[in-house]
Each structure stands twice: as C-alpha cells, then as structure tokens.
C-alpha cells in the first residue's frame, strides 16, 4: 500500500523550500521591498505549478516502477504500450487527488498582513545574499580580465622567447654538454661495470654482477657508453604483471638532460628577454616574468629539445665530450672546439657517404655485369620462327611435328617427361631415329639426328634444322618459365616452331620482332558444349573424365566409382610417367571406361574423352586456394571430344556451372610477364668478384628485373644451400657445379629425398660411391617415394656421366613402376576414407579428415556445452 501521507509531507516541504528560494531571488533584485500581493500576482503561474512539480518528483522517486504500474492497473487503466514518461505523469496525477496543498494560502499565512515583519526580514536576507553574489560575480569578472590579459601576454611571451631559443640552441646545448661532461667523467671514474648473470632462483630471471671498473677508452661514442648497465633496476607495468628491467646509463642521462634543460635554459631565456617587454608584461599582469612562465610558454619546444639534445649527444665521440671536463674549457673555448669537432664529423660523414656511394655504384655495376646482359632479348636473326597458337586439342603440336619429321635434324622440347617420351616413341615408330634426354633418363638411339626432351635440357650449343618448343605459355611459370625464354630466344636452328595458347601471342610478337615468318591460329574442329545442370556422381558415363585437384581426391573419387561398378584409370602430378602411360593405355584400349585426374590431364594428353567433368573449381597454387583461371579451365576442358569418335566435346560442373561457362568462353588476358632465373654464365661472371652462393642469392634479390619479367624466387636452391653452407661441400665444390646440383629437379620438400641429396653431395666431394636410393616396398605412397629416390639418383648419375649405372637403375625403376601400377589398381578397389580420430568410415566426398561426431566432441571440450550450437 502506498504511503501517500508521507509523500504529501515531503512534497509540501519541497514546495515550501522552492517558493522561499524563488522569493529571495525575486526580492533580492528589488531596490525597494514590494508587498506580498505584488509577488503573488507576478509569480502566480510559478506558484501554481510548484506543488504539482514537487509532488510528481517525490511520488515517482519514492515508488518503484513495478508498484507504479500495479497501482494504475488496479484502478482500471490500460497502460500497455504507454511510454515511461506518460505512465509517471498519470501516476502523479492519480495519487495527488485529495492530497492538494494550497501554496497561496500558506504564503499569505506566513507573510500576510499579520506577519509583515517576517516579509521585511526575508527581503533583508534576500538583498544581502544578492549583494554578496554580485560582489563575487564582479570579482570573478575582474580575475577573468586579469587572466585574459595574462593569457594574451603568455602568448606574446612565447613569440618573444621562441626566437631566442632558436637562435641560441647551440649555445644552450654547450651549457648542457658541459654539465654532462662533468657527470660523465665522475660516473666513469667512480662506478663499476655490471654484466648479467643467469640466476634461476631469484625474482629476476638474471642478476647483475660486477665486472671491473668502467674505462673511457672502451667506448667510441656516447651511445656506446649509454648501453652500459648502471647496476640499478626499474620496473614497468604491462597488462598482467610487473616487468623488472635493468637500468642503463641511457635511462639515467635522459632524466639528467631533461632536468638540466628545464633548469638552465628558461633562466637564460628570461635574462635575454627585452627589458621593454618585461616591463610591459609586469604592468599588464601585475607580476614579473618567472622561470615557470617561460616553461609554460615553451612547453612543447623544451620537450622536443630533450630528444634533440639527446640525439646530438649520442652521435658524439665520448672523448670529445669528456674533453670539456678534462681541460675546464671556458664557454668560448668550448664553442670553438665544438665547431672544430662538428666540422671534423661533417667531413668524416661526407667521406663515408662518398665511400657508400662508390660501393653502391660498384655493386650496381656488378649487378648489371653479372645479371643484366643475360636478359637482353636477342633471338638469332638467321632463325625463322613459326608460331602455332590456339586452344587445347586443335592440332598445333601435330602440325609442328610434321615439320620436325621432315627435317634432317632437330629437337622437341616438352614441359613433361611423359610428353617427351611420347614424341620419342612416335618419331622412332615413324622411321625417324630419335634420342630421349630428360634430367633423369637418357635413351641414345644410334645415328639419331633428332632428340626429344624436357625444356630444361635445352642447350644453345646444339645445332639442328628444326626445333619444336611446346606449351610456350608456361614462360610465365615463376620457377620454370626461364627455360622457355632461353629455348625460344636462343634456339640454334634454322627454323623454330613455338606452340602455345593465344594468350602468349603479344609477348612472342614483341620478343621475336622481325624474325617471325608465319603465325598460325588454330580453332577446334569439335565444338565444346557446356551442360548447365549440376553434375552428380551417379551420372557418370563411359568416356567421362572427372577432374579434382589433389592426389587424395583422385583416389577417393576413383574408389567411389570402382565401388559403383566402373573401371577407372587415374592420373595425378606425382605419378611416375610410366605408370601414367599404363593408366592412359588402359583408357585408350577401353580396359577402363572412366578416368579421374588432376589438371595434369590438360598438358598435351590426347585421349578419347567424351565429357570433362570438373568436380572442383578451386585449386591450391602453392600459396592459396583460388578459382581456376580462364586459360587453366580451357586447357582442361579442351580435352573433351575426339574427331571421328565424339564430334562434340561436353563439359559439366559439380557447381557454379553458369559462372564457369562464362570463364570457359571468355577471352584470355595476354601474358605480360615471363620468368627469369640465374644461368651458368652469370655464375662464371660472379666468380670474378665473390666466392660464396650466399652472396650470389643476396645479389640476385637486389637485382632489379627488367620490365616485363618476374624473378624466380629460387626457393629450392636457397633451401638446399642452407644444407651445405659452410661445409666441406661448399668449400670443395666449384660454385658453378654446386649451383647445378642445387637446381636438380626433385621433390626437395620430402625430407628423405633431401637427406639423400646431402648424402650424395658428400659422397661426390669425398670421392666416395654415391649412396644407393632406399627402396621401400608396401603402400602406394612408399613405392612412389622410392620411385622418386631412384629418379634423384639418376639425376646425379647422368650429371656425372655415369651412363652404365644409370641404365641399371632405369631398369630397377621400370620394375618398380609395374609394382606401383598393380598396387594402384588394388588401392582403388579397397580405398576408403576413415576418420583420423576414431577410424569410422567417411563418405567418399566428406570435406574434412574427421567425422562430424568427433568434430562436435572436440568443439565441446574446447568451448563448453553452453556455447555449443550447431
């Protein structure tokens, strides 16, 4: 129940107090005391509202919000949707009924005819309070006027003092420097030297121990001395705890410089102020200029001066500063000696700048000499260039190879060992003797005047009638692109056929300006048709090629298809070429009816594929997952269709079919950059100046690559160099030979292969037998790693010209590929995905390595059930 009587009592007191305050305010301003009736008439409206206002404030503040709403609801008011202010107003109105207070009657009773003396007494109080307030107001205005004048003159003081500080900055520095000189001399003569000593059982991680006396000759500059420990400690608060720090002389002298600046300079500036200004300042502010006035006026300037003087000091030689104390120099002698030292330092800095400039110029000359000339585009003028440009599967390579077959001699350069092997077999089958040369395989055919190899095997010393360079758009590859640049611009042949996508046309026209005799653009005879319906795995048909972008996804997808009754071939990048050939032959011979592949299928493989299906649109490029480029998509999709077999090439997508169709049929951007990398000629020129590859890599990083090029980051070369840096391998092996071994094309990220490489390098410099590659039977991964180990061994053997041994290991590797092929067939049939946490079977296309149940358990453990929402 509401205590309305208590509220009424408090509201009445509040009303009375308000009215008394108003009376005093009104009467205080009057020179003569008005009568009560005049006040009641003039303030009628205010008096009338005073009671209502007091009641509302006290009633609302005395009763809770809940009780106010209950009170109104009990009386039949529907207050739902009312704003709080409206509810408060209604509550005050309802509770006030019957509780009124007549303010007019109370005033008449208190100060009416019978109590005029009370009214006059109230008037007297009001006038006294008014007079006091007026005096306070006038005093405040007077003080404000003084402060305003002082503020104006404080600004004027800044305008007078700042130029004096600027003009005398060096002189003031010399006064501070003199004080510093004496203090430095004292500290060095009397203090001990301290070093840190590990002390695990103390509060500090380390403790300080004395280490002899300080000696001035141990320090070249003041900065060197400032790094010494004083023996004291200081503390700093970080977010969670107090950090104990050892104090240095730099900490101490920063405080010393600050104190001396604020102690000495304001007094000197005050003495230098014009007498007329000081008199004027005193007359307007009733006070003389003080040192604190100068500090206030130049607060920012003096603060900046601390860091400026400290910077000037730490750059000085310690002996120069101590000289002031040693010889008790007068200020004039001090200034003269300081100017001499400044000039000496200026000349020294000028000499150092000149030396640095010469070093930079010499370094730039070396960079230009070692690297620059190597990348001048200068194709042989006597060579005839023929370009074959177009999309995948348009007959470009077929046409170029016809010219190679007719020539008396020549070479074919491919991006992949498999393609080189394919051309090697094709030419020999067609009666054109041809040898094979890749980094880890050589097949020399007697009387052969033709050679098929990978582009890295190109040598400008070899002559021929025709050179065919395939997949030239790979000139933009950051790691391998320079091999295409060298082959294209330095091919020593009468006729060079360059095969590539349309996106490389502009670059080739610029690069081969004046020597291009023919440009052939090719279009597909077989159109591509895109199915915009979302592809599902159950829709697989014979002659389909399904594309994913990892070895694991290839095997997962193949296992799913095998389980569904399909016979499947697989292709992925790390697969041995011989195994890849067998997989391809099975598909061509229809022993399998579906192929699952990575984008490796897009590189020169002509297969009887009816439909290309992209199960993924994103690939990892070594740095991030990204959408396929238009050229990458065309390279893959172009494998669909086979003239005379499938006269329409079909393309389907598991998602985003419309977006991917636009990408497929969009115009490719022209390639604008090609990659460059170091050459053996550079290394030979480098040897004229330096002798370690670490310096070579540093210079390569500094070399500014020519416009239109991008430098190879030499990631593998740098990584392998770290394994041999400062070892007998680097000491004994000629720099050109060592770099050649750093460039061997193998999977250096595989730790076992890296160890094999280091062991082989040690064997070479120690003139021992090369360690045999480790062959591990068992899983597909182990067999493929063993295949790579043999390949690395072959790279060493061919580089060392040990062909008989290489032939033996090629046979071993060939036997291994049969095992890989057989294990692959078995793995595809039994391959299944399991949760890495609980080994539960997973769906073939599950996105993660663990099942949903294990994921949810981990989530709960990490965040708690209350936050778990899925």
With bands split at pLDDT 50, 70 and 90, how would you rate the model's confidence at 198? low
Give pLDDT tens digits for 491-521.
989 999 999 999 999 999 988 888 999 999 9
Long-range contacts of 619-622 (CB under 8 A, 24+ apart): 619/549, 620/549, 620/550
Report which of residues 847 and 78 the model is more confident about. Answer: 78
**Cα separation of 558 and 537, whole Å?**
11
pLDDT beyond 50 at 289 = yes
Q: What is the pLDDT of residue 88?
A: 87
Given a contact cutoff of 8 angstroms between Cβ atoms, the answer to whether 675 and 485 are in contact is yes
Residue 353 CA: distances (Å) to CA of 286, 360, 392: 57, 10, 58
Number of alpha carbons in the 13 Å side-chain half-sphere of residue 384 = 9
Given a contact cutoff of 8 angstroms between Cβ atoms, the answer to whether 576 and 812 are in contact is no
Average pLDDT of the residues in 573-596 = 88
pLDDT beyond 70 at 522 = yes
Average pLDDT of the residues in 798-823 = 88
Give pLDDT tens digits for 455-486.
998 988 888 999 999 999 999 888 888 899 98
Average pLDDT of every residue of the chain? 87
Give pLDDT tens digits for 694-751.
999 999 999 988 888 888 889 899 999 999 999 999 999 999 999 999 989 888 989 9
With bands split at pLDDT 50, 70 and 90, how would you rate the model's confidence at 866? very low
Q: Sign of the C-alpha dihedral, residues 504, 509, 512, 515?
A: positive
Neighbours of 86 (CB within 10 A): 11
Residues paired with 710 in a beta bridge: 675
Strands 192-198 and 206-213 turn out to be antiparallel
Q: What is the pLDDT of residue 858?
A: 65
Q: What is the pLDDT of residue 601?
A: 84
Reduced to 3 states (helix: H, G, I; strand: E, B; else coil), residue 848 is coil
Average pLDDT of the residues in 80-89 = 86
**Cα separation of 530 and 653, whole Å?**
9
Given a contact cutoff of 8 angstroms between Cβ atoms, the answer to whether 199 and 299 are in contact is no
Instruction: For residue 666, give the nearest of 625, 621, 627, 634 by alpha carbon.
Output: 634
Percent of the chain predicted with pLDDT > 70: 93
Strands 242-248 and 229-237 turn out to be antiparallel
Q: Which domains does the chain have, with CATH numbers?
A: 4-114 (no CATH), 157-329 (no CATH), 384-522 (3.40.50.300), 528-665 (3.40.50.300), 833-869 (no CATH)
Instruction: For residue 469, give the nearest of 452, 445, 444, 450 by alpha carbon.
Output: 452
pLDDT beyond 80 at 842 = no
Q: What is the pLDDT of residue 380?
A: 63
Give pLDDT tens digits for 634-686.
889 988 988 778 889 999 999 999 999 999 998 888 888 888 888 888 899 99
Report which of residues 758 and 817 the model is more confident about. Answer: 758
DSSP string, 700-759: HHHS-PPTTEEE---HHHHHHHHHHTTSHHHHHS-HHHHHHHHT--S-TTSHHHHHHHHH
**Cα separation of 281 and 293, whole Å?**
11
Average pLDDT of the residues in 527-544 = 93
Element (H, E) at 334: helix 331-370
Q: What is the pLDDT of residue 614?
A: 95
Given a contact cutoff of 8 angstroms between Cβ atoms, the answer to whether 318 and 226 are in contact is no
Q: What is the pLDDT of residue 24?
A: 87
Q: What is the pLDDT of residue 737?
A: 92
With bands split at pLDDT 50, 70 and 90, how would you rate the model's confidence at 280? confident
**Cα separation of 676 and 480, whole Å?**
8
Q: Tell the residue number behind the tokens 């460039």, with chain if given.
A: 743
Q: What is the pLDDT of residue 510?
A: 87
With bands split at pLDDT 50, 70 and 90, how would you rate the model's confidence at 282? confident
Average pLDDT of the residues in 782-795 = 91
Structure tokens, 261: 């600046």
With bands split at pLDDT 50, 70 and 90, how would you rate the model's confidence at 870? very low
Residue 642 DSSP class:
B
Give pLDDT tens digits for 19-58.
899 888 888 888 889 888 888 888 999 988 998 899 899 9
Average pLDDT of the residues in 257-277 = 94
Residue 620: phi, psi to the nearest 5?
-90, 125
With bands split at pLDDT 50, 70 and 90, how would you rate the model's confidence at 863? very low
Q: How many helices (H) and strands (E) does the chain have?
A: 32, 22
Q: What share of the chain is helix, strand, coil (3-state, %, to 5)?
A: 55, 15, 30
Structure tokens, 361: 């110029």
**Cα separation of 153 and 284, whole Å?**
8
Q: What is the pLDDT of residue 620?
A: 80
Highest mean pLDDT out of 181-190, 370-379, 617-626: 181-190
Number of alpha carbons in the 13 Å side-chain half-sphere of residue 271 = 5
Residue 110 CA: distances (Å) to CA of 15, 107, 115, 358: 14, 5, 6, 103
pLDDT beyond 70 at 246 = yes
pLDDT beyond 50 at 524 = yes
Instruction: For residue 752, give the nearest of 803, 778, 788 by alpha carbon.
Output: 788
Average pLDDT of the residues in 66-80 = 86
């Amino acid at each position: 129940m509401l205590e309305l009587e208590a509220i009424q009592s408090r509201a009445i007191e509040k009303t009375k107090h308000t009215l008394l305050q108003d009376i005093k305010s009104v009467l205080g301003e009057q020179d003569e005391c008005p009568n009560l009736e005049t006040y009641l008439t003039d303030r009628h409206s205010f008096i009338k509202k005073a009671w209502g206002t007091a009641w509302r404030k006290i009633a609302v503040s005395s009763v809770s919000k809940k009780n106010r709403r209950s009170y109104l609801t009990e009386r039949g008011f529907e207050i739902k949707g009312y704003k709080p202010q409206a509810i408060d107003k209604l509550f005050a109105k309802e509770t006030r009924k019957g509780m009124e207070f007549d303010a007019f009657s109370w005033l008449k009773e208190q100060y009416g005819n019978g109590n005029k003396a009370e009214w006059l007494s109230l008037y007297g109080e009001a006038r006294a309070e008014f007079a006091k307030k007026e005096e306070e107001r006038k005093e405040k205005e007077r003080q404000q006027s003084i402060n305003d004048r002082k503020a104006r003159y404080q600004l004027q003081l800044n305008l007078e003092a700042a130029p004096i500080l600027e003009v005398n900055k060096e002189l003031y520095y010399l006064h501070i420097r003199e004080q510093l000189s004496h203090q430095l001399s004292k500290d060095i003569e009397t203090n001990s030297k301290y070093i840190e000593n590990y002390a695990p059982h103390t509060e500090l991680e380390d403790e300080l121990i004395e280490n002899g006396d300080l000696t001035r000759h141990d320090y070249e500059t003041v900065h060197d001395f400032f790094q010494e420990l004083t023996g004291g400690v200081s503390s700093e608060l970080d977010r969670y705890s107090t950090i104990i720090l050892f104090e240095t002389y730099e900490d101490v002298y920063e405080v010393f410089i600050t104190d001396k600046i604020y102690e000495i300079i304001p007094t000197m500036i005050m003495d230098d102020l014009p007498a007329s200004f000081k008199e004027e300042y005193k007359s307007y502010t009733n006070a003389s200029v003080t040192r604190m006035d100068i500090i206030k006026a130049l607060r920012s300037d003096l603060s900046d001066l601390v860091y400026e003087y400290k910077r000037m000091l730490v750059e000085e030689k310690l002996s120069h500063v101590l000289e002031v104390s040693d010889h008790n120099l007068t200020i004039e002698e001090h200034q003269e000696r300081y100017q001499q030292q400044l000039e000496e330092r200026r000349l020294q800095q000028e000499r150092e700048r000149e030396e640095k400039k010469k070093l930079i110029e010499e370094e730039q000359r070396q960079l230009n000499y070692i690297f620059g000339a190597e990348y001048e585009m200068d194709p042989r003028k006597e060579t005839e260039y023929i370009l074959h440009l177009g999309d995948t599967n348009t007959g470009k390579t077929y046409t170029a190879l016809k010219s190679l077959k007719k020539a008396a001699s020549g070479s074919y350069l491919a991006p992949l060992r498999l393609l080189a092997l394919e051309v090697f077999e094709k030419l020999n089958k067609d009666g054109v003797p041809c040898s094979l040369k890749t980094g880890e395989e050589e097949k020399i055919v007697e009387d052969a005047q033709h050679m098929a190899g990978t582009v890295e095997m190109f040598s400008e010393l070899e002559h021929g009638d025709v050179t065919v360079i395939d997949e030239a758009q790979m000139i933009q590859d950051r790691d391998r692109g320079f091999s295409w640049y060298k082959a294209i611009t330095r091919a020593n042949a009468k006729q060079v056929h360059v095969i590539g996508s349309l996106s490389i046309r502009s670059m080739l026209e610029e690069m081969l300006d004046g020597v291009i005799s023919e440009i052939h653009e090719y279009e597909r005879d077989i159109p591509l048709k895109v199915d915009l319906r979302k592809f599902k795995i159950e829709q697989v048909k014979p002659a389909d090629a399904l594309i994913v972008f990892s070895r694991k996804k290839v095997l997962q997808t193949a296992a799913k298809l095998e389980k569904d009754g399909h016979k499947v071939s697989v292709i992925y990048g790390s697969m041995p070429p011989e195994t890849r050939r067998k997989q391809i032959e099975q598909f061509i011979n229809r022993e399998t009816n579906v192929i699952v592949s990575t984008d490796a299928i897009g590189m020169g493989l002509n297969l009887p594929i009816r439909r290309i299906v992209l199960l993924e649109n994103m690939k990892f490029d070594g740095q991030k997952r990204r959408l396929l480029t238009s050229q990458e998509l065309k390279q893959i999709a172009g494998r669909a269709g086979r003239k005379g077999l499938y006269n329409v090439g079909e393309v389907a997508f598991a998602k985003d079919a419309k977006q991917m169709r636009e990408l497929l049929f969009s115009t490719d951007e022209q390639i604008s950059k090609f990659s460059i990398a170091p050459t053996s000629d550079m290394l030979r020129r480098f040897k004229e100046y330096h002798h370690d590859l670490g310096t070579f890599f540093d210079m390569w990083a500094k070399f500014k690559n020519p416009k239109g090029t991008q430098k190879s980051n030499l990631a593998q070369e740098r990584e392998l160099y770290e394994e041999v840096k400062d070892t007998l391998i680097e000491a004994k092996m000629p720099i050109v030979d060592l770099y050649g071994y750093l460039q061997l094309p193998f999977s250096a990220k595989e730790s076992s292969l890296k160890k094999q490489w280091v062991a082989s390098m040690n064997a070479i410099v120690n003139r021992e037998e090369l360690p045999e590659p480790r062959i591990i039977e068992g899983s597909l991964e182990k067999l493929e790693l063993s295949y790579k180990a043999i390949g690395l061994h072959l790279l060493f053997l061919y580089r060392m010209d040990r062909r008989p041994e290489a032939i033996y290991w090629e046979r071993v590797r060939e036997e291994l590929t049969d095992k890989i092929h057989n294990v692959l067939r078995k793995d595809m049939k039994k391959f299944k995905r399991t949760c890495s946490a609980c080994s539960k079977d997973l769906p073939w296309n599950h996105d993660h390595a663990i099942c949903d149940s294990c994921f949810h358990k981990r989530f709960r453990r990490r965040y708690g059930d209350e936050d778990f929402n899925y």
